[in-house]
Amino acid sequence: MTDAAARRWAVPAVVVLAAVGLVVAPHAAAASPHPSLPSRTPAALLAAVEQANVEHFSGTVRTVANLGLPQLPDRFSASGSGLQALLAGTHELRVWADGPDRQRVALLGDLAETDVTHNGSDIWTYSSQTNTVTHQTLSPHKTDATHAHTVDSGPPEQQLTPQAQADKALKAIDPTTTVSVDRTARVAGRPAYQLVLTPRTSKTLIRSVRIAVDAATSLPLRVQVFAIGSSKPALQTGFTRISFRRPAASLFRFTVPAGAKVSADSGPSANGNSAVVPDNSSGSAHATGEPRTVGTGWATILELPSGSVDARPTSMLNRMTTPVPEGRLLRTRLLTALITSDGRVFLGAVPAAAVEHAATA
Average pLDDT score over the chain:
78
At 12, the pLDDT band (50, 70, 90 cuts) reads very low
Mind listing the domains of the chain with CATH numbers? 3-271 (2.50.20.10), 285-360 (3.30.310)
What pLDDT is stored for residue 158 in this prediction? 58
- Both ends of the chain: CA-CA distance in Å? 37
The answer to whether the beta carbons of residues 67 and 235 sit under 8 Å apart is yes
What is d(CA 315, CA 331) in angstroms, rounded to the nearest whole number?
A: 17
Q: 45, 170 in Cβ contact below 8 A?
A: no
What average pLDDT does this structure show over 102-128? 90
pLDDT recorded at residue 289: 73
pTM greater than 0.85 (yes/no)? no
Per-residue model confidence (pLDDT) at position 319 = 81
Predicted confidence (pLDDT) at residue 83 exceeds the cutoff of 50: no
Contact present, 344 and 286 (Cβ < 8 Å):
yes
Any long-range contacts for 350-354 (C-beta under 8 Å, 24+ apart)? Answer: 350/14, 350/203, 350/204, 350/205, 350/295, 350/299, 350/301, 351/203, 351/205, 352/324, 354/203, 354/295, 354/299, 354/301
- pLDDT at position 117 is 95
How confident is residue 68, by pLDDT bands cut at 50, 70 and 90? confident
pLDDT at 302: 93
- For the segment 170-197, the average pLDDT, to the nearest whole number, is 92
- 17-26 residue pLDDT tens: 333 333 232 3
Does the pLDDT value for residue 281 go beyond 80? no
Mean pLDDT of 349-354: 95
pLDDT tens profile 136-149: 998 765 434 334 43
Those residues whose C-beta lies under 8 Å from the C-beta of residue 9, and which sit 6 or more positions away, are 170, 171, 172, 173, 174
Give me the pLDDT at residue 163, please: 86
Which pLDDT band holds residue 168 (cuts at 50, 70, 90)? confident
Which of 6-10, 61-65, 204-208 ranks highest by mean pLDDT?
A: 204-208
pLDDT tens-digit readout, 213-270: 999 999 999 999 999 999 899 999 999 999 999 999 999 999 999 999 999 875 544 4
Q: In this predicted structure, what is the pLDDT of residue 18?
A: 34
Least confident of 37-51, 102-116, 238-252: 102-116
> What average pLDDT does this structure show over 148-174?
68
Which has the minimum average pLDDT: 92-96, 209-213, 316-320? 316-320
Q: Where residue 157 falls among pLDDT bands split at 50, 70, 90?
A: low
Query: Does residue 313 register a pLDDT over 80?
Result: no
Q: Give the HSE-up count for residue 197: Cα atoms under 13 Å, Cβ half-sphere.
A: 30
- Residue with more model confidence, 278 or 178: 178
